[in-house]
A and B are shown apart, each in its own frame.
Chain A
Amino acid sequence: MFTLITKRLIQLIPTIFFVSVLIFLLQQLLPGDPALVMAGEEKDPEVIEQIRKRYRLDQPLPIQYLAWVGGVFRGDLGESMRLSEPVATLVAQKLPVTVQLAVMAMIFTLGIGIPAGIISAVKKDTAWDYVVNVVALWGISTPNFWLGIMLIFLFSVQLGWLPASGYVSPFEDFRASMAATIMPAFVLGNSFAGVIMRHTRAAMLQVMESDYVRTARAKGLDERTVILKHGLRNALTPVITLGALEFGTLLSGAVLTEQIFSIPGFGKLIVDAVFNRDYAVVQGVVLVTATTYIVLNLLADIGYILANPRLRT
Chain B
Amino acid sequence: MTTLRQTLAWTASAFLLAASISGAAAQQSVLRIGLAEDPDVLDPTRARTYVGRIVFASICDKLFDIDDKLAIVPQLALSHETSSDGKTVTIKLRPGVKFHDGEAMDAEAVKFSLERHMTMQGSFRRPELSAVDKVEVVDPLTVRLLLKQPFSPLLAQLTDRAGMMVSPKAARELGERFGSAPVCAGPYRFVERVQQDRIVVERFADYWNKDQVTIGRIEYRPITDATVRLANLRSGQLDLIERALATDIPQIRANAQLRMAAGVDLGYQGVTLNIAKSDAGKQGFGRDPRIIQAFSLAIDRQALNQVVFNGSAMPGNQWVNPENPYFQTRFPVPQRDVAKARQLMQAAGVRGQLSIDFMVPNNPEVRQVAEVLQAMTAEAGFDLKIRVTEFATSLQEAEQGRYQAYMLNWSGRTDPDGNVFSFHACNQPQNYGGYCNPAADALLNEARTKTDPAERKAIYEKLTELLLSEGGIVYLYHRPVVIVHSARLEGFRAFPDGLVRVIGLKFRGN
Contacts and interface: CB of A to CB of B under 8 A. Distances in A.
Contacts of A182: 14-15, 18
Contacts of A34: 392
A162 interface: yes
Contacts of B41: 82-84
A85 interface: yes
B18 A161 contact: yes
Give the bracket for the number of chain A residues in contact with chain B.
Answer: 35 or more
B7 A115 contact: yes
A164 B392 CA distance: 31
A85 B18 contact: no
Contact of A262 (B7, B46, B223, B399): B223
A115 B127 contact: no
A173 B7 CA distance: 24
A159 B422 CA distance: 51
A90 B197 CA distance: 12
B222 A262 contact: yes
Question: Binding site of A, secondary structure by majority: helix, strand, loop or mixed?
Answer: helix
A298 interface: no
B38 A32 contact: no
A64 B3 CA distance: 53
B258 to A, nearest CB: 12
Interface in A77-130: 82-85, 90, 93-94, 108, 111-112, 114-116, 119
Given A37-B395, A163-B25, A176-B21, A44 B429 contact: yes
A58 interface: no
Interface in A112-154: 112, 114-116, 119, 149, 152-153
Given A37-B395, A44-B429, A149-B228, A50 B22 contact: no
B124 A111 contact: no
Interface in A35-92: 36-47, 50-51, 54, 82-85, 90
Contacts of B399: 33, 36
Given A84-B46, A276-B392, A50 B122 contact: yes
Interface stretch (B231-239, B472-480, B492-500): B231-239
Nearest to B11: A111
Contacts of B49: 40
Given A31-B393, A165-B223, A269-B196, A175 B46 contact: no
Contacts of A114: 3
Contacts of B234: 157
Contacts of B17: 175, 178-179
A175 B21 CA distance: 7
Contacts of A291: none
A259 interface: yes
Contacts of B128: 42
Interface string B119-161: 0011110111000000000000000000000000000000000
A23 interface: no
Given A157-B235, A166-B197, A178-B17, A41 B410 contact: yes
Given A83-B41, A149-B227, A156-B237, A37 B18 contact: no
A33 B399 CA distance: 10
Contacts of B225: 259-260, 262
Contacts of B223: 165-166, 262
A178 B14 contact: yes
A114 B395 CA distance: 49
Contacts of A119: 4
A98 to B, nearest CB: 12
Given A37-B392, A115-B3, A119-B4, A44 B127 contact: yes
Contacts of A261: 228
B430 A43 contact: yes
Given A152-B228, A264-B195, A44 B18 contact: no
Given A111-B11, A182-B18, A47 B122 contact: yes
A170 interface: no
B411 interface: yes
Nearest to A258: B196
B176 interface: yes
B334 interface: no
A105 to B, nearest CB: 13
Which of A32, A37, A164 has its CB near the most chain B CB atoms (within 10 A)?
A: A164
A167 interface: yes
Given A37-B392, A153-B231, A160-B22, A111 B40 contact: no
Contacts of A2: none
A32 B392 contact: yes
Interface string B213-245: 000000001111101100110111100000000
Interface of B: 1, 3-4, 7, 10-11, 14-15, 17-22, 25, 38, 40-41, 43, 46, 48-49, 121-124, 126-128, 176-177, 179-180, 194-198, 221-225, 227-228, 231-232, 234-237, 390-393, 395-397, 399, 410-411, 422, 429-430
11 contacts: A33-B395, A40-B49, A42-B430, A84-B43, A93-B194, A167-B197, A264-B196, A272-B38, A275-B391, A275-B392, A276-B392
Given A84-B177, A262-B228, A269-B196, 6 more contacts: A33-B395, A40-B124, A82-B41, A94-B195, A155-B15, A262-B197
Closest 3 CB pairs of A and B: A40-B48, A32-B392, A264-B197
